[in-house]
Every structure is written in structure tokens, then in C-alpha cells.
Amino acid sequence: MSETAERDARHKARMQRKKALIDEKIAQAQDEYGLLLVHSGNGKGKSSSAFGMVARALGHGIKVGVVQFIKGAASTGEETFFRRFPEEVSYHVMGEGFTWETQDRQRDIAKAQQAWAVARHLLSDESVGLVVLDELNIALKHGYLELDTVLADIEARPLLQHVVVTGRGALPGMIEAADTVTEMSLVKHAFKSGVKAQKGIEF
């Protein structure tokens, strides 16, 4: 083999190894990408399950962002607990919450938009591995946010970032976009037999 042919052969072999490596990395990237999980249904556990995933992520050293779209009025146990770790969890609750009762639709829309601006910021932060969009489905169902905008921002997130969307009444477009959809159904509920809401269980 001439010196040139030998150099060409070495080059070819190197390129082949490089291509194999790149192919492997592409395959890996396709295997390991951030999932969009939706928790819907009328049962309990939609938000709790998302917060369990927050604990799981923190156990793996993954940074988390949380935006609560509804429960702004009351301080929940999860909020109190996860705010203990400001370096690991970026926790946002929308002002005083929505105003289903007061019927001030323009104020609700403004608050939802503000909340979405915070969510978009988290969805563009590569250092955040898990984003919880708690009760987002409710804001979408009421038309306070546009589904197209929301899905576009979710689609544009960092490749490895996971997103969990909770709330009953997930729109068909959200279900379509999701990797995993879980429906929480109520089989039996103590409240129906007159037991009142319990701290640490319900709120």
C-alpha cells in the first residue's frame, strides 16, 4: 500500500469510528430525552404525584422549577416544605390565585399570563431538569392561556428537561403532545361520607 493509500485508510477508519461514536450519541440522545407527563382525571393524587416526582428528582441532584397556577390563595404543605431548599427548587405561586368567585376575567387572564412568563423562563433554563406546571390544565380549560403558545414553549425546552402538567380536564391537544398521560379516578372518597378536609392530606 502506498503512503497516501495508507494515510487514506487510517483517515477512513478514524472517520468510521467517529461516525459510530456520533451515531451512538444521537441514538442515546433520542433514547434519553425529557418527557412531558400529564396527570389528569377527577381523582386525587394529580398534584401529589408531581410533588413526589420533585422529591425523586432532588434525590438524584436534579434542579426543579414549580409554578402553581391555582393554589395561590392558601399556603400548602408542599410549598412550605419545598421552599426549604431554595438552591434546589425554584418555587412560584401565582399571587393570590385566580378569581373564579369574583368573575374578574381580565384579572385572571393577566395573572395567568404572568404565571406563564415564569414558566417560560424555567422552560428555557438548561440547569432545571424538571418543571412542574401545577393545575395548568385548569388555566387552559378556562381559556386564560393559549394552548398553542403553551405547547410551543414546552416543545422548545432543553432536550433533557422533564415537564409535568397537572389538573383535571386536560385538553385533547395537551394529551396529544404528552409522552405519558395518567388518569387519576376517584373510586371512593371519605369526604362523601362527611369527613372534613385533613391538614397534611388534602392541603
Residues at the contact surface with its own copies, assessed by CB under 8 A? 31-35, 37, 39-41, 43-60, 62, 76-82, 129-130, 162, 175, 178-191, 193, 195-196, 198-201, 203
**C-alpha cell recorded at residue 148:** 398553542
Q: How far apart are CA 87 and CA 54, in angstroms?
A: 14
Q: For its own copies, which is the closer residue by CB, 59 or 106?
A: 59
Q: For its own copies, which is the closer residue by CB, 112 or 174?
A: 174
- Smallest gap from Cβ 203 to its own copies, in A, equals 8
CB 138 within 8 A of CB 167: yes
- 81: number of Cβ within 10 Å: 14
- Smallest gap from Cβ 35 to its own copies, in A, equals 6
CB 54 within 8 A of CB 128: no
CB 137 within 8 A of CB 110: no
Q: How far apart are CA 16 and CA 137, in angstroms?
A: 48
- Smallest gap from Cβ 58 to its own copies, in A, equals 5
Q: How far apart are CA 130 and CA 128, in angstroms?
A: 6
Q: For its own copies, which is the closer residue by CB, 9 or 73?
A: 73
82: three-class secondary structure by DSSP: helix
Q: For its own copies, which is the closer residue by CB, 55 or 73?
A: 55
Q: For its own copies, which is the closer residue by CB, 102 or 196?
A: 196
Q: For its own copies, which is the closer residue by CB, 53 or 139?
A: 53
- Smallest gap from Cβ 90 to its own copies, in A, equals 16
> What sign results for the dihedral spanned by CA atoms 202, 74, 128, 177?
positive
- Smallest gap from Cβ 22 to its own copies, in A, equals 20
- Smallest gap from Cβ 165 to its own copies, in A, equals 13
Q: Rounded to the nearest 5°, which phi and psi values hold at 78?
A: -60, -45
162: three-class secondary structure by DSSP: strand
